[in-house]
Structure 1
Amino acid sequence: MKKIYGFLAALWLGGVWQVPSTQAGNLDPESGSSNHDSNALKLYVTLEAPDALGVVDPESKRRLRAISVGGKPHDVICAPDGSTAYITNPKTNDLSIVDTSTDKVKKTVKFGEEATPWHVEISPDGSQVFAALQDQSAVIILDTAQNRIASKVSVTSGPWAIAAPRNDIVYATLNGSVSKGTANRARSEDIAVFDPTEASPTAEYLTLAADTANGPHGIVSAPDGSAVYIAAQASHEVWKINVDDNRVERVAKIPDPNPSGTPLNPGFPTDLAISPDGNTLIAVNHDLDSITVINLETQRIIETVSTGEGSEPWGALIAPDGQTAYISTNGVDSLAFFPMSELTDGTEGASKSTIADLPTSDGLTWCKSAQ
């Protein structure tokens, strides 16, 4: 998940992302080839309006194109070896599989009617992909060797996001269904957990707080696989689950500046990003047009930074070198990024740059394309 240096203004034109010639390298919109190293690092961004996956070359800061995928793409994850990207498409109820060396869709996996796949995750060894099918109340397990559905794990409520901190354990946040109007409803079982290596995986459940409608939404794994962190958008909290013993603990409460007027859906925080060293967490506050930066060593909030009025931030990631934070600002069709040094230095505010005219949704992933 990962990084851009500098900023890029781009225009959607005729189905291909094109940039001014003073910034763009040579790019063939038909073949997708360009004059950059095939093993270069790239940032993939799901683009909701054009039903596409946007591609950014962070080294040149200027090449950007789009890959047509399924309907209303929401999330994307890259394989550990960099060879493949997986994109969930809620509108068409399927998963697009992209060859990162060619930036072309090589297969589409259909999930059936009313599946509504939202978030996607991959096991650390790259052998399995997990897709949250919200309206089927299930998690699909895809065998990446053959890119086929291997099994389906039923859960008690609509799953939204998934984390796989180890090969033998998967967590799914149970947020209900947006389309069925059950999102954020009170429940005793907030998180589903299962072992995907079993022949017939069966979910068990963890409760965040029995007396609170937590509305668990985004989830992210610690870099060392020791824990997962959950954005509870209804209770405005961040929670932690220790993987070894599934012990649950509250990390932080995000202050609500307007407690009587803030809606619970989509609420805040909605998504999370964690630094490569595991010391800093960024919580995305959709309804507050801001991000909250948390020191995980002290479990204290460092600061809350505005992403701009009406920006409606949705997804987040931190660069592999830990220098930059990227926020998809769905409300203004752009990608914002902040220097991590300014977000964590304890002083108020941070400078922001943007890549404009990008109709982002939630998905951001960093990928090194295979040769």
Structure 2
Amino acid sequence: MPGISVPGTPRQGSARRGCRRRSWRALVGAAAAGLAVIAGSAAPPAAAGPPPPPTLPPTAQSGTFAYVANNLDDNVVVIDTDTRSVVDTIGLTDDDQGPNPVAVNPQGTRVFVANSVSNTMSVILPVARIVLSVGVGGSPFGVASSPDGNTAYVTNNTTNNMTVVDTRTDPLTVLATVHVGTRPFGLAVAPNGTRAYVANQLDNQLAVVDLSTDPPSVLTAVDVGQFPQGVAASPDGSFVYVTNFVDGSLSVIRTADNTVVETIELGQGTSPSHVAVKPDGSRVYVANFGTGNVSVIDTTTNPRRIVTTVDVGQQPESVAVTPDGAQAYATSSGNNSVSAINTATNTVIGNPIAGFNNPLGVSIGTRTVGDTPTRLSLEEGNGNGDGSPGTLGKPGSLLKARLTADGEPLVAREVVFGAGSKALCLKATDRRGRTTCVLPPLARGGKACYTATFAGDGTYAAATETVCRAHGRPLKQ
């Protein structure tokens, strides 16, 4: 029976890369060199005419959203977990290819995507639909967020290291690169942010990384099963769960003394890929790549036991649980679909969401947005952002934004300036609610539209505004 289709068509140019399957399996048994990062900035947009009416995507509202890496289309598909329907598709930059693992920061305001073909990490700002990109190491196959949402950690499989990225800046800033073991894959960050746990496939170990040092450093390595892959931490940080792909097992590590306290046999041929933990810690979900199902494990018993398995389609790569614990989402790379599991009944809800193109990573985040209306004004003017004059349509031309609520300025709120999906500036408002962004020059005869977006927060609603210009002059509104 057909499932729910993902709307839209693949991004132009993806067909030529359709033969590549950019999951970790392309690297098994081979010491492949990482592909070079495609450098350079995207060309200025060639928009024309008056600005379109300002609109905000569904992610601008309060809700819980699943973000799925659509690997062969080089985009991320957004699913509203309330309706289990696709509500947005966000294309990556031309520098980003082969999206694989995904992580959402706890605030739901940034989505981190490791791109295993281009050796980059994307940071998606889902409300502004803006994508930033930074080069990392070779073949990144793991990504995780810090608890405060400001830092992303990326494991690089062929360069045997972990990249630490400050996600608050534009351009994004690499803070450190740390050697963590041989063929690092999945990772998890402790709930208190002091440790990262990295599965090293060829060492058959879990590296414990101290994140409180500058730069981070490896404290110890714990022997687990063969070819460890997925990693997840319990909500209280007491245990870490590691899938062992070759063994068909799950290692349980007690973090107090970094000791394996239990090994759960998942079954012959299961080839477990990734793992997720229910927010209350009572259940663990394991995506079994080899048997096309998800193992549900009860962690409240001693020993822990498998409650059941749920069929989710061929070759499930990843699994994630909603923050309320009511649903788990599993990607099926073999069936090009995503299944939503009712965690109370351990059954798939309705039809799978179909129409993907090699879905790999999935991560889920909740946004809480206030209902106090805001107003964001945007205009173009002269100046260099430092009080000095500029010339319209040339370097020094400014976008000037002001954010208010009930006529009062909103202070220290992030405003994202962009052109299409390309970020121009990430700036905080001053005491008057104002902020500016210096524009790049336009070629003679060129035209472009620019947008400023406030994503909203727990008190205030999101807002956006658009302005267009031609070389040397604003376009009429």
TM-score range, shorter chain: 0.7 to 0.9
Report deviation, 1:142. 1.2
In 2, Cα distance between the equivalents of 1:192 and 1:31? 47
Provide the secondary structure at the position in 1 that maps to 2:272.
coil
Deviation at 1:175, TM superposition (A): 1.1
| Residues 1-371 of structure 1 aligned to structure 2 (within 5 Å) | 8-13=4-9, 15=11, 33-34=56-57, 37-69=60-92, 70-105=96-131, 107-111=132-136, 115-146=138-169, 147-165=172-190, 166-176=192-202, 187=203, 190-209=205-224, 214-256=226-268, 262=269, 268-298=271-301, 299-308=304-313, 311-343=314-346, 353-369=351-367, 370-371=455-456
Q: State the secondary structure of the residue aligned to 1:342.
A: coil
Give me the whole-angstrom Cα distance separating, in 2, the residues matched to 1:367 and 1:325. Answer: 12
Measured against aligned partners, the alpha-carbon deviations of 1:331-361 in whole angstroms (never above 9, x if no partner) come to 0100012211222xxxxx7665310112243
Distance 1:350 1:79, change over 3 A: closer
Q: What's the CA shift string for 1:177-200, capped at 9, x where partnerless?
A: xxxxxxxxxx4x501111122123
Distance in 1 separating the partners of 2:329 and 2:162: 27
**Residues 102 and 284 (structure 1), Cα distance of their counterparts in 2 relative to 1, 3 Å cut:** same
Corresponding residue for residue 370 of structure 2: none
Contact 2:339 2:348 in 1 (8 A): no
How many positions carry a matched residue from both structures? 320
Q: Which runs of 5+ in 1 are unaligned?
A: 1-6, 17-28, 177-186, 257-261, 344-348
In 2, Cα distance between equivalents of 1:230 and 1:158: 15
What is the aligned partner in structure 1 of residue 18 from structure 2?
none
Letter in structure 2 aligned against 1:79: N
Structure 1 residues 355 and 240, CA, compared in 2 at 3 Å: closer, same or farther? same
Give the counterpart letter for 1:65 in structure 2. D
Runs of 4+ more than 6 Å apart: 29-32
- After superposition, the CA RMSD in angstroms is 2.5
Question: Following the alignment from structure 1 to structure 2, what is the Cα–Cα distance between the partners of residues 58 and 132?
Answer: 28
**Aligned equivalents of 1:217, 1:280: Cα separation in 2:** 19
Rate the CA distance shift 1:328–1:14 in 2: closer, same or farther, 3 A: closer
Distance, in Å, in 2 between the alignment partners of 1:173 and 1:150 is: 21
Q: Is the 8 A contact 2:189 2:197 kept in 1?
A: yes
C-alpha distance after superposition, 1:104-129 (max 9, x if no partner): 21x210125xx111110012122321
| Structure 1 residue 64, shift from structure 2 partner | 2.7
Report the counterpart of residue 23 of structure 1 in structure 2: none
Distance 1:338 1:356 in 2: 15
Q: Which AA in structure 1 matches 2:247?
A: S
| Residue identity opposite 1:231 in structure 2 | T
Return the alpha-carbon distance in structure 2 between the equivalents of residues 61 and 232 of structure 1: 31
**In 1, Cα distance between equivalents of 2:274 and 2:59:** 32
Larger Rg: 2
Q: How far apart are 1:42 and its partner, in Å?
A: 2.1
CA contact (8 A) 2:163 2:176 kept: yes
Residues 250-302 of structure 1, C-alpha deviation per residue, up to 9 Å, x if partnerless?
2411121xxxxx4xxxx611111211110111111101111111111120111
**CA 40–337 in structure 1, closer or farther in 2 if over 3 Å, else same:** closer
**Separation (CA, whole Å) in 1 of partners of 2:350 and 2:205:** 35
Of all paired residues, the percent bearing the same amino acid is 22
How high is the TM-score relative to the length of structure 1?
0.79
Structure 1 counterpart SS, 2:334: helix
Task: After TM superposition, give the deviation of residue 205 of structure 1 in Å.
Answer: 3.3
2:363 partner letter: T
